[in-house]
Amino acid sequence: MRVALYMLRNEEQWNCCLSLDLRVDIEWWLGSLRNNGKGTRMVVLSEHMPLGWAVAWRDHYTPLTGMDAWGETEWRRYMRGKLMSFVETEPPENRASWEALLHEVSLWGEFEQSSQKVRRTASHTLSASLPLGTNGAFAAARTLPAERQGRRESQGIDLDELMRRTELLCRRMVGRALLAGEVEGLLAEVAGDGGDWRPAAQLGCLLGRLRLEAGLGPDRPAPRGVPGWLRRRRAPALRCRRCGSVAESRTACAACGSAACAYCEACLAMGRSRACALLLQGTAGPAVRGTAGGSPTEALGRWGLSAAQSAAAGAALRFLAEPRAAGSAGAAQFLIWAVTGAGKTEMIFPLLQAVLDADGRVLVAAPRRDVVLELAPRLAKAFPSETVVTLYGGSPDRWKEGRITLATTHQLLRFRRAFDLVVIDEIDAFPYHNNPMLDYAATGAVKPGGKYILLSATPPARLQRQAAAGRLPHAKVPARFHGHPLPVPERMQMMTLAQCLQKQRLPSALLNRLRSSLGRGAQVFLFVSRIKHIEPMLRLLQQALPGTPVDGTSSVDPMRAEKVMSFRNRDIRVLVTTTILERGVTVPKSDVFIVDADSELFDEAALIQMAGRAGRSKDDPAGRVLFAASQWTRSQRLAVQQIKQMNRIASAGGYLRHGGS
C-alpha cells in the first residue's frame, strides 16, 4: 500500500502528516470541515510513498530550523536525504526506480477559503495518520463541529455522507486494530454499502479517533552506550505490530512496488501483515475501576456461589476495586487457581458485573473454539440484558458491538487497548501457554490501567512461583462446587502400551478395573499418549470387552464432536483418546484411566487435568482415577501431591462435606 506524505505548517511548527486521501486533508485544512484553516502552509512530498517508509518518516520526524524559508530546492534536498535511507534497503538493481519520488515535491501557499489551489485529486490507495493529540494545535480537533458552515460537497466528496460514514467507522473501530481488508469489510457491513472506506478513515485520523500504522515496524533501537559501528551492524529487526513477532520473510510486493517487502509469517492465518500493510487502530478511553457497587458480599449474593467460590471471587473483586500503584508497568494481574470442576466460569460472573456496572468493557478469552461455543450460552443466560459478542474463526459476530466479548485467544490480535478487564481462561492450555504471540495479543487488548484475571487449575510453574513469593495476587479454590474431595489417583504398574500392542493382549489387572468401572455404570475415559495407539488399543478392547460400545477420537478426527456427544449420551461407554480431551469436557459419572502415565508427553499439568474428568458430578463425586505405568515418574508424583494438597487446604478451610485425603 502507498500513501501521501506531506508537511504542514500550523501556528506552532512544521508537522509530518500522512494521508489516505488528500482530498479530505484539503477540506480539513481549508475549513470546510474544520473552519479554522487560514494561514496553513503545506508541502506535498509524495502522493504514493510506501506506507512503511511514510510511517517511519512520521514517527522519527523532528522539525528543523529554517524550514519556513525553504523553497522547492531545499525541500527536494530534504526529501532526498530522508528517502535514501529507505531506498538503500532495496536491492541495488531496483533503487533507480525510486528516484521518481524525488520529483513529486509540490509547494502549497497559504490556504484561503476564497481561493483554492488544488492539485490532482484522483483516488489514492493510501494509508495515513496525523499525529493528533501530540501537538497543541491539533489536540482540540477531536470531534466534528455540531454545525458546519459552507459547502456540503467538495473535491468530489459528499461531506454529509463522509461524516456519516466516519462516525460509523470510528464508533465500531474503538479498541480494534484491523488490516485494510478488514476495515473495508467492517465499514461495508455497518454502512450498508461497498463504498470507499479510505476517506472516512482519513477523516477519523484527522479527528484523532483513529490512528494508522504499518503492519511491521522497526524493533526498539540498541541501548545507549553501544558503539556506532555495532549499532549499524545490529540494525533493528522488523517486528509485526499486530502479533509482536520478528518478521524475517521478504517478497516482491505489487501493493507498494518494493522488491523486498517484509511480511509476518507468525500471524499469516489472520491475514498478511506486511511492512506496507495498513494497520488501523481505533482509540479507546481510559480504563474504569471495577467497583462492586458495595461490599463484595453484596455483589456475590445473586450468583449462588459456594463458600470456596465466594472467597476467591471476593478477593478478586477487591483487586478490581484497587487503584493501580503509581509507576507500575503493564496491566495488573490476579490469578484464580481453582481445582478442576470448581466452577471457574461462575466465579467470573460477579467480576464481569462489577466492571459492567462501572460502564466498562470486558473480554473473556478461551483457548479453543469449542470452549468458546460452550461458554457463550452460559454468559448470555447470566447477563440477559447485555449483548455477548462471540468471536472465533468464521464467526458471524465479527463486527458486532457489545460490552461483553467472548473470543478465542487468536482473535485478541484484532484488538488494541479495548477492554477494562481481560479474563483469560486456561492460561496453561494450548495454544496460549508458551506462545509469545498470544501473550502479546492479550497484553495489547487491555486498556492502560486495565486488569487481568487469569484462570487455571494447573498454573505454569512461573506463576506458581510468583504466587508463592507474594508477587502475584491470587486466590485458591481448593474444592469443587459439590463440596467433595478430589479423587486421588491410584497407581498401577503395568508394561508399556507398546509392549501390550506387540503381544496383542492387555494386562488382566487393567481389564478387571475397567470391568469394575463399567459394572458400576461409569463412563470411562481411557487416555493414551499417542494418536497412533488409539486404533490398535480399540481392537484389543473390543476383543476383551465384547458387547461394550468402545470408540476412539483425537485431534485429527473430524467426528470428534459427534463421538464426544455419543459418549455423553452413553452410546459409547469407553472412549480412547489423547490429551485433546484433557479439559473442557464434562461427562457425568466418569472414571479416568491413563495408560502410559509415565510418558514424557504427560507432564504434571496434563495428568491433573485428565484426572479432573472424574468425580465432577454431585451424584458421583468419588470417581476413579488410575495411573497405569511401568514406572513412577516425577510428574505422576507431583500430580498426586498437588491433588492431595488441595484436598487438605479444602478440608482445613471447611469447604468439604467429607474429609479430604
| pLDDT digit string, tens, across residues 443-457 | 999 999 899 999 999
Crossing angle of helices 51-59 and 72-87, rounded to 10°: 110
326, HSE (Cβ side, Cα atoms, 13 Å): 0
Distance of alpha carbon 368 from alpha carbon 350, whole angstroms: 24
Buried b (16+ CB within 10 A) or exposed e, 33-46: bbeebeebbbbbbb
The H-or-E segment that residue 278 falls in is: strand 278-282
Distance of alpha carbon 13 from alpha carbon 30, whole angstroms: 18
Fold adopted by 490-652: Rossmann fold (3.40.50)
Mean pLDDT of the 399-424 span: 95
Q: How confident is the model at residue 227 (pLDDT cuts 50, 70, 90)?
A: low
Q: 91 vs 268, which has greater pLDDT?
A: 268
**What pLDDT shows up at residue 219?**
75
190, HSE (Cβ side, Cα atoms, 13 Å): 23
| pLDDT digit string, tens, across residues 568-625 | 999 999 999 999 999 878 899 999 999 999 999 999 999 999 999 999 988 899 899 9
Its sign, for the CA torsion 61, 282, 434, 449, is positive
Tell me: pLDDT of 96 over 80.
Answer: no
**What pLDDT shows up at residue 207?**
92
Give the β-pairing of 550-552 and 625-629: unpaired
The H-or-E segment that residue 80 falls in is: helix 72-87
Tell me: pLDDT of 150 over 70.
Answer: no
Distance of alpha carbon 120 from alpha carbon 127, whole angstroms: 18
Q: How confident is the model at residue 113 (pLDDT cuts 50, 70, 90)?
A: very low
| pLDDT digit string, tens, across residues 532-543 | 999 999 999 999
Q: 657 vs 620, which has greater pLDDT?
A: 620
| Residues forming CATH 3.40.50.300 domain(s) in the chain | 296-477, 490-652
Tell me: pLDDT of 346 over 70.
Answer: yes
Neighbours of 394 (CB within 10 A): 7
DSSP state of 103: G
Average pLDDT value for the chain: 85
Tell me: pLDDT of 565 over 70.
Answer: yes
Place of cell 443466560: 381
Tell me: pLDDT of 439 over 80.
Answer: yes
Q: Evaluate whether 360 touches 417 at the Cβ level (below 8 Å).
A: no
Mean pLDDT of the 447-474 span: 93
Neighbours of 467 (CB within 10 A): 17
How many residues does this entry show for the chain? Answer: 661
Mean pLDDT of the 310-319 span: 94
pTM of the model: 0.84
Distance of alpha carbon 121 from alpha carbon 153, whole angstroms: 14
Lowest pLDDT segment from 322-331, 418-427, 436-445: 322-331
**What pLDDT shows up at residue 660?**
46
Q: 493 vs 120, which has greater pLDDT?
A: 493
451, HSE (Cβ side, Cα atoms, 13 Å): 26
493 φ/ψ angles, rounded to the nearest 5 degrees: -90, 135
Name the grid cell of 531. 494418536
**What pLDDT shows up at residue 156?**
67
Q: 63 vs 233, which has greater pLDDT?
A: 63
The H-or-E segment that residue 357 falls in is: helix 344-357
Mean pLDDT of the 41-60 span: 89
Lowest pLDDT segment from 86-90, 510-514, 616-620: 86-90
Angle at 613 between CA 515 and CA 465, to 5 degrees: 135
Mean pLDDT of the 138-166 span: 57
Q: Evaluate whether 443 touches 243 at the Cβ level (below 8 Å).
A: no
Please give the share of the chain, as a percent, with pLDDT higher than 90.
62
Distance of alpha carbon 442 from alpha carbon 532, whole angstroms: 35
Q: Evaluate whether 418 touches 376 at the Cβ level (below 8 Å).
A: no
DSSP state of 418: -
The H-or-E segment that residue 434 falls in is: none
| pLDDT digit string, tens, across residues 129-143 | 333 333 332 233 333
**What pLDDT shows up at residue 115?**
34
364, HSE (Cβ side, Cα atoms, 13 Å): 29
Per-residue H/E/C for 20-54? CCHHHHHHHHHCCCCCCCCCCEEEEEEEEEEHHHH
End-to-end Cα distance, the chain: 64
Q: How confident is the model at residue 218 (pLDDT cuts 50, 70, 90)?
A: confident
Mean pLDDT of the 14-43 span: 78
Residue 481's alpha-carbon distances to 301, 341, 592, 613, 618, in angstroms, are 16, 7, 20, 14, 8
Q: Evaluate whether 420 touches 355 at the Cβ level (below 8 Å).
A: yes
**What pLDDT shows up at residue 450?**
92
The H-or-E segment that residue 318 falls in is: helix 307-321
Fold adopted by 296-477: Rossmann fold (3.40.50)
Distance of alpha carbon 12 from alpha carbon 131, whole angstroms: 14
Is residue 512 classed as helix, strand or coil in its secondary structure? Answer: helix
Name the grid cell of 333. 494481574
